[in-house]
Amino acid sequence: YAASKDLLCMYLNNNENSQLFTGKSLRLGGSKELYKENGTAFGDLSAILIDNMPFWAEFSSTPSNKVSLMSNWEHKMQAIVNETINENVTSLAGVPSWMLVLLNNVLETTGKNSLFDVWPNLEVYFHGGVSFTPYKDQYKKILPKKDFRYYEIYNASEGFFAIQDQNNSSELLLMLD
């Protein structure tokens, strides 16, 4: 949670005219389903984080926790599309591979060519989990604005290790705490 706050503070410091909080963050997390093996319970970190966020955090996020934490991917995908296409989405957050599938489903469902036709106030995508490089060109096709921002997070199950702290640099700031 501290890393998320740090990321938002760095982003807002770099983008004084941001309208981030005038809309919602479309977050894409995993399933809430917990697995048990050898006396240990484990599950998807993103889902555990979403499930344990303070109640007020859901007001600035989409889809709802109920939809975010669904376990059946196909049902979840359509539920997310249905719940988010009429929201004022100003940011995206999630793993590039999964998010790309979702965003292409949004375009297919709405019949639009650009995500800015669906969410005109969209300004940033916070991504991590896998390298963004293989997906960059595909994102630029569906997000065709030169000033659209991509902010990388170096996260893993063990924690958040580094955060992009500048608009025009892909360098990451090591989070020492």
For the chain, counts of helices (H) and of strands (E): 6, 9
What pLDDT score was predicted for residue 155?
A: 78
Residue showing tokens 């995508």:
125
pLDDT tens for residues 123-170?
A: 999 998 888 999 999 999 999 999 999 999 887 767 778 899 999 898
Give the span between the Cα atoms of 42 and 19, in whole angstroms.
Answer: 37
**Start-to-end Cα distance in the chain:** 12
Write down all domains in the chain, each with its CATH number in brackets.
17-153 (3.40.50)
Q: What is the pLDDT of residues 90-133, one digit of tens each?
A: 999 988 999 999 999 999 999 999 999 999 999 999 998 888 99
- Mean pLDDT for 43-69 is 69
- 4-19 mean pLDDT: 91
**What is residue 32's predicted lDDT score, i.e. its pLDDT?**
52
pLDDT (tens digit per residue) in 28-52: 866 556 667 777 765 555 555 655 6
- DSSP assignment of 131-162: -SGGGHHHHHHHS--TT-EEEEEEEETTEEEE
Instruction: Please say if the pLDDT value at position 57 is more than 80.
Output: no
Dihedral, CA of residue 103, residue 105, residue 106 and residue 108, to nearest 10: 130
Per DSSP, helices labelled H in the chain are 2-14, 45-51, 65-68, 73-84, 96-110, 136-142
Q: Element (H or E) spanning 128, and its range? A: strand 124-128
